[in-house]
Structure 1
């Protein structure tokens, strides 16, 4: 299959998934439907469903209904986690629109997140016990990652290594599960399934580290620039500031730690961060991990699906450039 034909096949499948995602968020109560579709309707990259679909094409064949259900499980789980994340982060925006917690209140946002997790469980039950097991283990990792971020590093633990563990749990675990779901649906060999899982975890790390950077360097995002910075959420650039031998970096870290409620202070912190060497250090780490992710593609069968995953290694890097 030529790359253009493959890209169209993926796009067509994702269009079906988009329609099914809307159907999956319909409740018997109109208010629940409205609240559940709030974030879904705002769009998104649909990175996880795309990973499921591409990975399935590494196999020799699959049932389309099972593929769509697998993709729905991953995206419903992801969207559900966003409702909970926004409550914890007291977010104002999500994907360029008012966050659900701001529009409907924290209690409703939490309950809608629970509702979407339940909907994901309904779809995964149709796939079989091995999918249920993987979904459950991944859900536990998501929660552990969030709790680890909330608790912070333990005494004597390297804050940067702790941050990497948080990202692996909060973000990369679900992207790994998406790759594994796709491979399982496609019936790939055990060797290929192991490789695609490793790829999914590493590319998930790259994806989230790019988000760390985007929060600082980009104005073209659904979130207000510096949202994580203002909320005091640790990111790789700010952690590198704290560990830097530079006196000016230490001073900037102290300035950020003092609070950025004032818009002028936030703008100043962003400008100084953008000119700091920690930005290039973060980019270096993103590039390094993208190369590691690419190395896991070796055992995969040649073809359009492998080529698409290879290109993805570049795309997740350039999104934060």
Structure 2
């Protein structure tokens, strides 16, 4: 894929032969992705490739490939099957499509270190390109059979439901933390769960293994978003490639914010005042970031993230040990520790 290099070591300490297969698999995914987003209209082709060409870790397709390795026989050869590659492409297209929509909703300025889609184009174009990529993902998945299509549809419904709930106030009588975690499960956990599920399915894993890896994927997705929300506070744009404080600017209450809001310490009065709603003023936003970065709520949110990471690893316990399962365990740590 133009503008995208595959890392030589995808998971720290991974078995070298497994790593080689993952690298080859991601190269196949990138080649296929480039094929399916191409278009006869030069502008549409360029806009469709814009965020993909900007890079990214290809975390979701890598998880599809790694989950497929759990069901791999030593006689399977050295490359992922065409079905596994297409499943990985479908998942990545769905993710990329959601990023175009996210850029519009977040009114972001940066994505992966470049101008966000809404800045590079405009809101209408970004929304339509996102829709086009969702349609392309559905077309790819349709070639994998009716069950895969049903999973894709259910995943898409959860993505949209999670995003809608994320943009709405917490319903009366609902615990804000429970609401937040439910939103994360839908808007991020669902697609990462599907990435792992597809890999296991199309590698021929039995039903119990598919269910375990689906559960693992959902918990990893939760860890991924919890860590991402922490990074929105803890990092700067040079580290993350995103505009820091986006959630605070919009008034979105992530876990550290929800925890900080419960403080009764008089010393936190200014912080809780700032966190009461959106923070459009740049000076106040920087003040809120500085106060929140130093607040115990950050450590509490990191501790919760690590607990969910422990739960993700625990789901793998029934699986026979081997290079792929070992890599899945290590992968959880890499996701969780991004926020440290």
> CA, structure 1 residues 259+171, in 2 after alignment: closer, same or farther (shift >3 Å)?
closer
Match of 1:301 in 2: 320
Question: How far did residue 298 of structure 1 move?
Answer: 1.1
Structure 1's 248 and 21: CA in aligned 2 closer, same or farther, altered over 3 A?
A: farther
In structure 2, stretches of 5+ residues that fail to align are 1-13
Q: Normalization by structure 2: what TM-score?
A: 0.91
Give the whole-Å Cα distance in 2 for the aligned partners of 1:140 and 1:307: 32
Task: Give the corresponding residue for 1:310.
Answer: 329
Contact 1:81 1:113 (C-alpha < 8 Å) held by counterparts: yes
User: Does the residue aligned with 1:151 lie in a helix, a strand or coil?
Assistant: coil
Which residue of 2 is the match for residue 210 of structure 1? 227
| CA–CA distance in structure 2, aligned partners of residues 312 and 249 of structure 1 | 36
* Cα shift at 1:259: 4.8
Give the match for residue 82 of structure 2.
65
Report the equivalent of 1:46.
58
- Deviation of the 1:258 alpha carbon: 5.8
Contact 1:55 1:305 in 2 (8 A): yes
Q: Indicate the residue corresponding to 2:9 in structure 1.
A: none
Q: For structure 1, which runs of at least 5 residues remain unmatched after alignment? A: none
SS for the counterpart of 1:60 is coil
Q: How many residues align?
A: 320
1:17 shift after superposition: 0.9
| SS class of match (2:167) | helix
- Cα pair 2:86 2:141 within 8 Å, conserved: yes
Distance 2:264 2:280 in 1: 27
Matched, 1:244 2:263: yes
- Taking the aligned partners of 1:90 and 1:258, their CA distance within structure 2 comes to 17
Task: State the Cα distance separating 1:60 from its structure 2 match.
Answer: 3.4
Q: CA deviation at 1:261?
A: 3.1
Within-5 A mapping of 1:74-113: 74-113=91-130
Task: For 1:1-321, list aligned pairs within 5 A.
Answer: 3-61=15-73, 64-219=81-236, 220-257=239-276, 259-321=278-340
Q: Distance in 2 between matches of 1:257 and 1:95?
A: 29
Whole-angstrom distance in 2 between the partners of 1:10 and 1:294: 20
CA distance in 2, matches of 1:264, 1:291: 38
Alignment CA distance shift 1:101-1:267 (3 Å): same
What TM-score comes out, normalization by structure 1 length? 0.96
Q: 2:185·2:222 contact (CA, 8 Å) conserved in 1?
A: yes
RMSD of aligned residue pairs (Cα, Å): 1.4
User: How far off is 1:228 after superposition?
Assistant: 1.5
- The DSSP-based 3-state class of the residue aligned with 2:97 is helix
Name the SS of the counterpart of 1:319 in structure 2: helix
Rounded to whole Å, the distance in 1 between the matches of 2:185 and 2:114 is 27
The alpha-carbon deviation at position 23 of structure 1 amounts to 1.7
